[in-house]
Copies of this chain bind each other. A is one copy, B any other.
């Protein structure tokens, strides 16, 4: 499942915001390969979105390209970083250091310097005091101290469903405004707090629809593609 909710400025489609990091990923890759200019058509090829959509998405924030030429990869990636708020390091909390949480922490800490997991919280006394890639695992009791101290505004929740609501409430209490929720439960948060849900079971189950839909269509003798 996936659904966002919370304060929205109104003008910029949510769907567009969610595509920006995809453009950024491609732009960074191009930059690294010293490709200075890219067209919306080329970005389309590399992202899977249409070139019109890419151009329109970008114009919600300004005019970044040069007609007849394209976009400078350096300029555009800097602009996108700024729009996303990634022009400075964004500290984040991870709550739940199970398999999934650990995988996320490793992945994030090693790869990126923009959104940075600076606090990992878990209730398991066996885990508290250990660390993941140099970031110490703290007791959840420390959350109220560490989150404000580190200026943390976003959090990733990977605790079991039963514990998720309490953690969310406590995080919001101390200033968290955006939550990436991997627990299979609907979090209740005050207005103004943005929640993005990713439930892996639900992803797998909805995928099943498309394989069985394929089967059904075959049974009916229709063609696909």
A interface residues with partner B (beta carbon < 8 Å): 1-9, 17-22, 24-25, 46-49, 83-86, 90, 92, 98-100, 102-104, 106-108, 111-112, 114-115, 153-154, 156, 177-180, 184, 186, 190-192, 194, 196, 198-215, 217, 224-225
Contact = CB atoms under 8 A, between A and B. Distances in A.
Given A207-B178, A209-B83, A209-B84, A48 B186 contact: yes
B84 A206 contact: yes
Contacts of A199: 21-22, 25
B99 A21 contact: no
A225 B191 contact: yes
Given A5-B48, A7-B224, A204-B115, A209 B20 contact: yes
A192 B225 contact: yes
Contacts of A212: 84-85, 90
A205 B86 contact: yes
A100 B107 contact: yes
Contact of A21 (B7, B92, B201, B213): B201
Given A115-B204, A178-B207, A99 B108 contact: no
A3 B18 CA distance: 10
Contacts of A153: 211, 214
B203 A207 contact: no
A225 B84 CA distance: 20
B204 A85 contact: no
A83 B224 CA distance: 19
Contacts of A213: 7-9, 85
A25 B154 contact: no
A207 B186 contact: no
A202 B25 contact: yes
B17 A206 contact: yes
A54 to B, nearest CB: 13
Given A100-B104, A178-B207, 15 more contacts: A5-B48, A9-B217, A17-B210, A22-B202, A25-B201, A46-B186, A47-B186, A84-B206, A84-B209, A99-B102, A108-B200, A114-B208, A154-B207, A178-B210, A190-B225
A156 B2 CA distance: 18
